[in-house]
Amino acid sequence: MNAKPFLDTNILIYAFALRDPRAEKAEALLAAGGIISIQVLSEFVNVSRRKLGWDWLAIESALAVVKNLIDPPIPLTAELHSAAVALARDHGLSFYDSLIVAAACHSNCTIVYSEDMQNGQKFGATTISNPFAR
């Protein structure tokens, strides 16, 4: 099993958020290191640009910080895609959440930090954990 957690996109977004109560916890999780996928990086860019209105320099600067703190991202492969389809079908996850879980399982991560999925839900040895839940 991988001792490093898998970080969902919302952890990265909150780590760079200004005046958000979740920022401190997200910064600590990111600073501790972890695993992400290309999907997480892509979602981070999309949310930063479209929802937060960041310019490209800010996005690229944030990506450089992320890439310095975590392992190289897990690529999206046909194998992961097939695993995600099965997870979505069998567990009722959204397809994009199932891609996150598939990448985490593929990486042997025991924890996925995410605010978007059911806290405590298990997928084999991988457990969803909402670090912002009280």
Q: Which residue has the tokens 């937060």?
A: 52
3-class state of residue 53 by DSSP: coil
φ/ψ of residue 52, rounded to 5: -95, -15
Integer Cα distance of 101 and 70 in angstroms: 18
What is the pLDDT at residue 1? Answer: 77
pLDDT digits (tens, 9 = 90+) for 17-40: 988 999 999 999 999 999 999 999
What is the pLDDT at residue 93? Answer: 95
Q: Token pair for residue 73?
A: 């991202």
State which amino acid sits at residue 37: S
What is the pLDDT at residue 2? Answer: 76
Superfamily of the domain at 6-129:
5'-nuclease (3.40.50.1010)
What is the pLDDT at residue 18? Answer: 86
Helix (H) or strand (E) holding 127: strand 126-129
Boundaries of every domain in the chain: 6-129
- Mean pLDDT for each 10-residue chunk of the chain (134 residues)? 92 93 96 96 97 96 96 96 97 96 97 96 96 89
What is the pLDDT at residue 74? Answer: 96
Q: Provide the 10 A C-beta neighbour count for residue 10.
A: 22
127 within 8 A of 112, measured Cβ to Cβ: yes
Integer Cα distance of 110 and 129 in angstroms: 10
